[in-house]
Amino acid sequence: MTPNVLARAALLLALTIVFQSLRLIIPVPPFFTTFVIGSLVNACLLVALETAGLGAAAVIALVAPAVAYLQGLLFLPVFVPPVALGNLLYILLFRAALARGRVFAIGLAAAGKSAFLFAAFAWLLTLVAVPAPLAAGLMFAMGWPQLFTTIMGGILATIVCRRLGDR
């Protein structure tokens, strides 16, 4: 990894953490921050993949849910691995499908991550005792909002990469 690529990877990791921290300082409803912050984090994943490589994107994919847990968004540690795996699936599907076009790659990656997270949390909630209102909120967050934020992340990443001249 060249110094420029390493610097870009570190910057994108820091930016991801800053974006996730916005929910702690912006006084807006959690529903709104889910869409904005989720889109920004997903964009960082794809920008990292395209500009710094798979390794950098994988590190961000694994660190982001750990930060979310430390911030109290993922309230049980058992929720961190499925989110990390969903992030990895997102970047891997995008990378695998990119040769077929950006729109296809974004769509496949978004559908794959969203379906995986919904299924993983539906299964996990059968194993972990969580109050019904909290479980319903989690299942909602892992439903269509995930699809929205992954698509928006792909669109934002496309814009950023074009502005950077990388793609």
Going 79 to 121 to 139 to 45, the CA torsion angle's sign is positive
Q: What CATH number has the domain spanning 3-164?
A: 1.10.1760.20
pLDDT for 29:
78
Structural tokens at position 150: 């992954």
Contact 159, 46 (CB under 8 A): no
pLDDT for 30:
72
pLDDT for 166:
52
- The domain limits of the chain are 3-164
CA 44, CA 107: separation in Å to the nearest integer? 17
Structural tokens at position 151: 């698509």
What is the total residue count of the chain?
Answer: 167
pLDDT tens, per residue, the chain with 167 residues:
788 889 999 999 999 999 999 888 887 777 778 899 999 999 999 999 999 999 999 999 999 999 999 988 888 999 999 999 999 999 999 999 999 999 999 999 999 999 999 999 999 999 998 899 888 988 998 999 999 999 999 999 999 999 988 54
CA 120, CA 13: separation in Å to the nearest integer? 25
